[in-house]
Amino acid sequence: MNQKIFLGANSGAGFVSLYDGFPPEEGVFLHILKGGPGCGKSGFMRSLAEAARERGLDVQEVLCSGDPASLDGVYIPALKAAWVDGTAPHVVEPNSFGADADYENLGRFCRLPLSQKDAEQVRSLNEQIRGCYREAYALLSRAKALHDELEAVYRPYMDFSALTAYTQETIRALF
């Protein structure tokens, strides 16, 4: 079965990660991809997933919580192999390097070092991105607080026993 899942979320509590549970089975070799933004990690994984599907294999794709058009991971059960973006905010490390995982540095395809001008731009953009994430997490935190206030207003008016009965009735009717 082909699946698309999220293993991370941006929330009022900051970044929430479930990457410790990837891949979802024992005995799968995990390839941890490293490299800067735009160096091809997501495209590499997308190509692997597409090639596997073309050969009739099931694929589990991990979507990026910050950009669902981007991939953060691919798992191909039939190959007992998975690839994951191991860069922040979802830093991934091997349990036992060489036994169950390795690193693949896609940054090696980038001509380095950057020019002084480009290096300064990279530092500036990274700081701006960090600032945007700080602001986003602050806004998500405020939204959660407002949601909790709103829920507190409705809660005294709720008949949860009636809701539970309706839920059970619906489950019986469906299954």
In degrees and rounded to multiples of 5, residue 163 shows phi and psi of -65, -40
pLDDT tier for residue 59 given thresholds of 50, 70 and 90: very high
% of the chain beyond a pLDDT of 90 = 87
**Residues contacting residue 68 through CB under 8 Å, at least 6 positions apart:** 6
pLDDT tier for residue 60 given thresholds of 50, 70 and 90: very high
Strands 71-76, 60-63: parallel, antiparallel or unpaired by DSSP?
A: antiparallel
pLDDT tier for residue 78 given thresholds of 50, 70 and 90: very high
Q: What average pLDDT does range 31-59 have in this prediction? A: 96
10 vs 46, residue with greater confidence: 46
Instruction: Give yes or no for residue 114 having a pLDDT over 90.
Output: yes
Amino acid at 146: L
CB 58 within 8 A of CB 78: yes
In degrees and rounded to multiples of 5, residue 142 shows phi and psi of -65, -40
Instruction: Give yes or no for residue 1 having a pLDDT over 90.
Output: no
Chain mean pLDDT for the chain? 94
Q: What average pLDDT does range 109-116 have in this prediction? A: 93
CA dihedral for 62, 86, 103, 41, sign (positive or negative) = positive
Instruction: Give yes or no for residue 12 having a pLDDT over 90.
Output: no
